[in-house]
Structure 1
Amino acid sequence: MTTRIVVLGAGYSGQLAARLAARQRDTEVTLVNERDRFVERVRLHQLVSGQDLRDRPLADLVKGTGIRLVIDRVTAVDAAEGSVALAGGETLPYDTLVYALGSRMDLASVPGAAEHAFTVATVEEAARLRARLASGEVVTVVGGGLTGIETVTELAERQPDLKMRLLTADGLGDRLSAKGRRHLRRTFDRLGIHVREHARVAEVRSDGVVLSDGEHVASDVVVWTTGFVVPTLAKDAGLAVDDHGRLAVDATTRSVSHRNVYGIGDAAAMRMPGGQELRMACATGLPVAQQSVRAIMAHRDGRPAKDFGFRYVNQCISLGRRDGLIQFVNRFDEPVERVLTGRLAALYKEAIVLGAFQTQRHPSIPTSF
């Protein structure tokens, strides 16, 4: 009997899951995505800085795989009936649903952010920011996470005429080791990036931001890189979700409330057996996609699915095209003192990004994690 598998979202996790599922026996796989291009989201800061990214049509990527590709927006999931409604009017029935809709930037939590701030969350938003930078001089990047760090350093390197500023609610590189923080600060000093630590933005205006203490920080362009939200489709469908609206799944990636639904990527709250929550990253999304397909096949065939076993190795941060920081971590994803920096780290990060894409082209399922 053929199992109808519908995968929602063709990002890193969703596309890999669809390709792996299509390789299994007796499966019929439909991949749904709102855009007709695969977006290397981890490269969007490069697009902002003036670099051109390779065009990757989804139709070309899934050609010959047996996957049915549907370019449309998902409007609802009927978990009781086992179907997905699309904006174009089509309804897709499923036996198994893979929920991989990803995340988007949170612009609603701070007044004025949606109206006045730019983001690097999608190709369209990154292109809009790129165009705006042509007429700006002072740029403020809000958010000291990886997206903020990579964006501000890429811009500072590629467009040295811009006056770059980073605002972070925490300390710069708080999640790095002492060696990692030292290299990050040296890089910021070399690139002329001004940093404001422990600065919380209370409002975004057309001429800059207002901090929680009332100070106005003038800026021609505000780039928002902090906070992510996920679609409400899972919650609206009555699926169990966590406090952030992410699909609640067990250690095999299966929904805790609906046995024929699996969650992967940013839109799912995946935890290790010990309770550790996995971070939003390609380093998480790709192995979780592999785990999900392995679990789907096991459950379908009446076999017990193994719990997800996994550990992080490092965090990879690009600091422009000629510098980088590879922060090695322990099994709990906590930084150790070992780091790799400079040109070698930049090449390392590029190899990781290329490898993430090649995994889409040549997918496999490890026998163990």
Structure 2
Amino acid sequence: MTQRIVVVGAGYAGLVAAKLAARWTPARVTLINPRDRFVERVRLHQLAAGQRLRDLPLADLLRGSGVELVVDRVTEIDPGARTVRLAGTSREVHYDRLVHAVGSAADRTVRGAEHTFSVATHDDALRLHQRLATAEVVAVVGGGLTGIEAAAELAESNPALKVRLVTKGELGAGLSERGREHLRRAFARLGVELREGADVREVRPDGVLLADGAHVAADTVVWATGFRVPDLAQRAGLAVDEDGRVVVDDEFRSVSHPEVTAVGDAAAGRTRTGLELRMACATGFPSAQHAVRAIADRLAGREPRPLRFRYLNQCISLGRADGLVQFVHTDDSPRGAVLTGRLAALYKEAIVRGTIAVERHPTLPTSL
């Protein structure tokens, strides 16, 4: 009897997983996604800033793959019956193996979250773009890569807009000294006001209130402090971590439900040395390739290959003409070496364009 593989989510990892499953296994593969378009999530700060992104219909990206596309939202997973329930119909889709690739959304666990905007999803970015038509002062909360890219893009694309970046720690804390120095120079050039060591306790319509009682004025607050996975897996009874990610083994199988594989942001994966894999498309591509190869091996009666992950760099855009490439050690800690300026911007753009090449041709080699 033909196996049925259902992939939930058509982001960077999910789309690759579906196409590889159709190519590497004899299974019938169904991909379920709430949108009929692929979202270039790593460009959503550009969309928010008013730039037009490529239109990428999933039907075009899937053409010739043999994958069945269902445009709908999964509302429930029933591991006992091995079915998923859809929002748009009463239909239940059966699976023998499930690939959980639902991605992540902004973690808005703050008082006054209803006053925040985000660049975590396509709809979030469009909502922020519409808001910017009347905005005068924007406070971006979060000093990680998402906050850095959002603040720089908004400042460069909207010179009349006052942009402030508010972070609890140090700007670019995970970068090398040279990397942090370049960020500061870029922010100074773009006119981005920096507020470090600022613990935001509440978001209000007129800005943010800090733990020390200080107020940072803004008519628009962009929340970029981190991400959280939808609670679909948790509600289904799968073992998850504190962020809602499925806890997986080195084949990316759920430790509680091995018929479920999780990839991308939805998976709490670790290398054999204990390194936690970060949420990034640089993790999503190789994890999807490795996970589907393991499924194919298991179906063919072979022992899967061991997991080998290695990060190479972190690429940060600072507007369209500047960037920062931070090279990293095997444990993802920063090296002293960085690439900056126009060359770094071109490097980052090549990487981002390359993600679509991988979606079209998922057997292309990828690395971390």
The answer (yes or no) to whether the contact 1:166–1:195 under 8 Å persists in 2 is yes
Which residue does the alignment assign to 2:208?
Answer: 209
Which residue does the alignment assign to 1:75?
Answer: 75
Cα drift, residue 306 of structure 1: 2.0
**AA paired with 1:92?**
V
Which residue does the alignment assign to 2:97?
Answer: 96
2:81 counterpart of 1:59: no
The equivalences for 1:140-159 within 5 A come to 140-159=139-158
Identity %: 61
Cα drift, residue 307 of structure 1: 2.5
Q: Deviations over 1:293-352 (max 9, x none)?
A: 100011112221123101000000000000000000000000010000000000000000
**AA paired with 1:251?**
D
Cα drift, residue 25 of structure 1: 4.0
Q: Secondary structure at the match of 2:117?
A: coil
Cα drift, residue 76 of structure 1: 0.9
**AA paired with 1:242?**
D
Cα drift, residue 243 of structure 1: 2.5
Deviating 4+ runs (over 6 angstroms) = none
The answer (yes or no) to whether the contact 2:35–2:71 under 8 Å persists in 1 is yes
Which residue does the alignment assign to 1:8?
Answer: 8
The answer (yes or no) to whether the contact 2:145–2:172 under 8 Å persists in 1 is no
Distance in 2 between residues matched to 1:64 and 1:21, nearest whole Å: 13
Distance in 2 between residues matched to 1:127 and 1:275, nearest whole Å: 38
Q: Structure 2 length as normaliser, TM-score? A: 0.97
Distance in 2 between residues matched to 1:358 and 1:206, nearest whole Å: 42
**Structure 2 gap segments, 5+ residues each:** none
Distance in 2 between residues matched to 1:136 and 1:246, nearest whole Å: 35
The answer (yes or no) to whether the contact 1:273–1:307 under 8 Å persists in 2 is no
The answer (yes or no) to whether the contact 1:138–1:221 under 8 Å persists in 2 is yes
2:322 counterpart of 1:304: no
The answer (yes or no) to whether the contact 1:207–1:219 under 8 Å persists in 2 is yes
The equivalences for 1:220-235 within 5 A come to 220-235=219-234
The answer (yes or no) to whether the contact 2:322–2:344 under 8 Å persists in 1 is yes
**AA paired with 2:161?**
L
Distance in 2 between residues matched to 1:201 and 1:367, nearest whole Å: 38
The equivalences for 1:235-246 within 5 A come to 235-246=234-245
**AA paired with 2:331?**
F
Q: Deviations over 1:256-306 (max 9, x none)?
A: 111211010111101001111000011100000000110001111222112
Which residue does the alignment assign to 2:348?
Answer: 349
The answer (yes or no) to whether the contact 1:234–1:247 under 8 Å persists in 2 is yes
Which residue does the alignment assign to 1:295?
Answer: 294
Q: Deviations over 1:59-105 (max 9, x none)?
A: 22112211110011111111111111111211111111000001101
**AA paired with 1:143?**
G
Q: Secondary structure at the match of 2:131?
A: helix
**AA paired with 1:93?**
H
Distance 1:361 1:322, change over 3 A: same
Cα drift, residue 365 of structure 1: 6.9
Distance 1:161 1:368, change over 3 A: closer
Which residue does the alignment assign to 1:333?
Answer: 332
Q: Deviations over 1:203-231 (max 9, x none)?
A: 10111110111112111111111121111
**AA paired with 2:107?**
D
Q: Secondary structure at the match of 1:55?
A: coil
Which residue does the alignment assign to 2:138?
Answer: 139
The answer (yes or no) to whether the contact 1:291–1:365 under 8 Å persists in 2 is no
The equivalences for 1:173-322 within 5 A come to 173-322=172-321
Q: Deviations over 1:244-266 (max 9, x none)?
A: 22111001111111121101011
Which residue does the alignment assign to 2:36?
Answer: 36
Aligned residues: 367
Q: Secondary structure at the match of 2:24?
A: coil
Cα drift, residue 167 of structure 1: 0.2
**AA paired with 1:95?**
D
Distance in 1 between residues matched to 2:367 and 2:105, nearest whole Å: 31
**AA paired with 1:346?**
A
Cα drift, residue 146 of structure 1: 0.6
Distance in 2 between residues matched to 1:126 and 1:105, nearest whole Å: 11
Q: Secondary structure at the match of 1:217?
A: strand
Cα drift, residue 185 of structure 1: 0.6
The answer (yes or no) to whether the contact 1:290–1:365 under 8 Å persists in 2 is no
Distance in 2 between residues matched to 1:343 and 1:365, nearest whole Å: 27
Distance in 1 between residues matched to 2:48 and 2:160, nearest whole Å: 15
Q: Report which stretch shifted further, 298-307 or 324-333.
A: 298-307
The answer (yes or no) to whether the contact 1:22–1:28 under 8 Å persists in 2 is yes
Which residue does the alignment assign to 1:23?
Answer: 23
Distance 1:201 1:5, change over 3 A: same
The equivalences for 1:351-366 within 5 A come to 351-364=350-363
Q: Secondary structure at the match of 2:252?
A: coil
**AA paired with 1:356?**
T
Q: Secondary structure at the match of 2:75?
A: strand
Q: Secondary structure at the match of 1:240?
A: coil
